[in-house]
């Protein structure tokens, strides 16, 4: 009877050791719960980036379809990016006025020298 109890104790100790090793691996090892959490966060980040790129692709597809279908989109792009002017249009360029210089630089130097 004593041998059976000793065997049960040995088996119980071995079973406890196995459970503790599995718990350690689950909670504390590099490929445990922390890794699963990190991977879940990475998946969520990638999904949001994919959603943004999908929306961008939809906009680009709509723009390509618009460029293929009509001349107005092509004309608008040519005006904004290439500076296109139509046949019956007049182009006016407004140039900002430069401030007038009151005195040349050498005259200012003469005044400073005379004041000394």
Query: Per the structure, how many domains does the chain have?
Result: 2
CA angle 109, 104, 100 (to 5 degrees): 140
Instruction: Give the number of residues written for the chain.
Output: 116
Burial class (CB within 10 angstroms; exposed 0-12, middle 13-18, buried 19+) of 32: middle
| Gap between the Cα atoms of 71 and 74, Å rounded | 5
25, part of any domain: yes
Check whether residue 81 and residue 35 sit in a common domain: yes
The tens digit of pLDDT for each residue in 17-51 reads 988 888 877 777 777 788 888 899 999 999 999 99
Determine which of 26-35, 49-58, 77-86, 103-112 has the lowest per-residue pLDDT on average.
103-112
60, part of any domain: yes
96, part of any domain: no
Domain of residue 3, residue span: 1-30
């Amino acid at each position: 009877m004593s041998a059976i109890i000793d065997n049960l104790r040995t088996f119980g100790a071995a079973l406890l050791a196995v459970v503790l090793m599995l718990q350690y691996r689950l909670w504390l090892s590099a490929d445990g719960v922390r890794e699963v959490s990190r991977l879940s966060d990475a998946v969520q980040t990638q999904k949001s980036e994919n959603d943004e790129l999908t929306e961008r692709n939809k906009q680009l597809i709509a723009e390509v379809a618009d460029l293929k279908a009509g001349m107005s989109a092509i004309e608008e792009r040519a005006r904004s990016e290439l500076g296109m002017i139509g046949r019956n249009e007049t182009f006016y360029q407004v140039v900002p006025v430069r401030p007038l210089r009151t005195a040349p630089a050498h005259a200012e130097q003469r005044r400073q020298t005379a004041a000394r």
